[in-house]
Amino acid sequence: MTLLAVAGCRRAAPPQPPAPADLVGTPQPPPEPEGTIAFVRHGQLWLRQPDGSHERRLETPGEVRQPSFAPDGSKIVYVRVPRTKAPDRTEDQRVGDRQEIWEVELAAGRARKLVDAMRVDGDGLQGPYWSYVRPQYGPRGATLWYARTRGAVSDRSVWYQDLATGKAEEVTWGSDFAVDERAAGVRLINITFSNADPYGFGLELLTGRRPGALTPREILPISDVILRGVTWSPTSPEVALIAEEMVSQRHPQIKLRIVAVGEAPPTERSFALPGSGRAPVYSPDGNWLLFESGPVERPSLMIVPRHGSPVFSILTEDAAQPAWAP
């Protein structure tokens, strides 16, 4: 296992620092991370334990993007891009690439398609395809949620699909989102945006008994910040997100922000990241946060205690788009 402490660039075991007071409790050193981590390496789906053991590649058709576990950890849903380009694709049709959404059963290795490729102009025979973003299972694994986009944030909408009937419905507009899998009804955290300001993002919470009737509540007002990725805690009513604060055009400040959305008004704390940050995800016990860092061409997965210790560790290199299951 490659596990390096960023500050000293040394090999280290999973960090166990004393933690400052968190949002709701007294300080406690977090237990070692457990569960199964999925990630993407060179377009392929990989699995491993946090300690580096049992690393293996899972055979899947096509290129894999943005994997996400089912609530029980038995399946993974992901965006699939065929390895060969469609014959009707021209050089200016760079968005879409005939993307589909698939799921794969971890035990049997069986894969099946859940959402077909769809052109932006509907039944037309020309033009680009929709890109699919952040597919994830809803509460109890009965629904599938995803965003689709033509490339610009302002063209992105959140959809859900009943896995039994295949019926799909648009829910809201948003830059990024996450569904709370534990909720009795539906709780959707959604990153909002300003059409007038490319650096204006906010956060809203949508709740309701069913996906088609959700009531929004503002959590963070739209401000001069770029929000990249949001995830629910599996153990408490809080979310974590990556924020790029535009201190200056040349030197943006990247922070990991943890927001207690169950409180009114919401409380928040944040700490700076050592470099870039994308795609945060909680450990199953809620004690750790894992996210992608480094250049997009050669990313790494970084892990940090949820309590906000300044000790960041590289969990594994040459890996991106993590997911975490029990």
Contact partners, residue 73, CB within 8 Å, separation at least 6: 35, 36, 106, 325, 326
pLDDT recorded at residue 85:
52
The domains found in the chain, sorted by start residue, are: 61-173 (2.120.10.30)
Token readout for 106 is 């971890």
> Which positions ≥6 away from 267 have C-beta within 8 Å?
23, 259, 260
pLDDT of residue 151: 64
Residue 180 DSSP SS3? coil
Residue-by-residue pLDDT tens, the chain, 326 positions:
444 444 333 334 444 444 444 444 455 678 899 999 999 999 999 999 999 999 999 999 889 999 999 999 999 999 999 765 545 544 434 444 789 999 999 999 999 999 999 888 765 556 688 899 999 998 788 899 999 987 655 678 999 999 999 999 999 988 789 998 776 788 999 998 877 676 788 999 999 988 888 999 999 988 888 888 999 999 999 999 999 887 766 677 889 999 999 888 889 988 888 778 999 999 999 999 999 998 888 999 999 998 766 677 888 889 999 999 98
Q: What CA–CA distance (Å, rounded) separates 290 from 226?
A: 19
Long-range contacts of 116-119 (CB under 8 A, 24+ apart): 118/148
Q: What is the pLDDT of residue 167?
A: 92
Residue 122 is classified by DSSP as B
Q: Which pair of tokens denotes residue 55?
A: 């690393």
Candidates 174, 148, 169; CA nearest to 241 is 174
pLDDT of residue 252: 78
What is the model's pTM?
A: 0.84
Q: What is the pLDDT of residue 216?
A: 93
- Residues 6 or more apart whose Cβ sits within 8 Å of residue 302: 6, 273, 274, 277, 290, 291, 292, 293, 312, 313, 314, 315
